[in-house]
Chain A
């Protein structure tokens, strides 16, 4: 079983969470401007990475909040858990900008 560190509640067993798929997919601002192909790409096409994967999890039996996890899909090793859209890379950029 995975041990997942909810950014709000701390480390909990995988059974408290539900999986939400690939993270970082922004809904297009103007869906009407898209072709069917582009819309289908947004709706259905996923990277399905072998290796490091940015994904959404919901702490369903805990605080019920969504957050992001960087996980290796081969080894299942979790690199990092963080609040939505705040991966280490963007946090580093922010602190450099400060």
Chain B
């Protein structure tokens, strides 16, 4: 049984060089947790931080913390070659729970999501049902998070509802 819902979270895109210790240390201090430097991984404690590329991360946090976090990052990294963008208005997070989620997603995603290959702490940007998504495994149950552009979120929710014959995840905005 797959369970899914839309989750109201804050989204920040952070760019800077992973090889620049001034940037990595500055960001780590503000975020209170380390940036994942290994490809296709995420770290979770105060926030969830996804690796997007060698110089790009996605910070997912409580919705009312994002604006503050952006200000703090801007202050701490002022003058450095970085980019900090609050994407909370442009992105939507969906969370899916259940052991049959990999099979559900495999219907329209080319990633191998077998738990032995894609476990807690793994993430990937890919395509799901022709939509660009950021997908992460964030809990043992297992729990998966899908981050998608807001304008595609209703379509993706409808796709999930259709495939699971469920009325879950209704958009309440």
Number of A-B contacts (CB under 8 A): 34
**Segment at the A interface, from B50-58, B76-84, B159-167:** B50-58
Beta-carbon contact of A63 and B53 below 8 Å: yes
**Which one of A15, A62, A64, A65 contacts B124 once the chains associate, using CB atoms below 8 Å?**
A62
DSSP majority for the B interface? strand
A8-B53 contact in complex given A16-B110, A61-B127, C-beta closer than 8 Å: yes
Chain A positions within 8 Å of B127 at CB level: 15-16, 61
Beta-carbon contact of A62 and B39 below 8 Å: no
Chain B positions within 8 Å of A9 at CB level: 39-40, 53, 124-125
Q: Mark A55-68, 1 if CB is under 8 A from B, else 0.
A: 00000011111000
Beta-carbon contact of A15 and B39 below 8 Å: no
DSSP majority for the A interface? loop
Beta-carbon contact of A62 and B110 below 8 Å: no
Chain B positions within 8 Å of A61 at CB level: 125-127, 132
Beta-carbon contact of A63 and B110 below 8 Å: no
Beta-carbon contact of A62 and B56 below 8 Å: no
Count residues on chain B whose CB falls below 8 Å from chain A CBs: 13
Q: Mark A8-41, 1 if CB is under 8 A from B, else 0.
A: 1110110110000000000000000000000000
Q: Mark B5-39, 1 if CB is under 8 A from A, else 0.
A: 00000000000000000000000000000000001
A62-B54 contact in complex given A12-B110, A13-B110, A15-B110, C-beta closer than 8 Å: no
- Chain B residue nearest to A60 (CB atoms) is B132
Chain B positions within 8 Å of A10 at CB level: 39-40
Residues of B within 8 A of A (CB): 39-40, 52-54, 56, 110-111, 124-127, 132
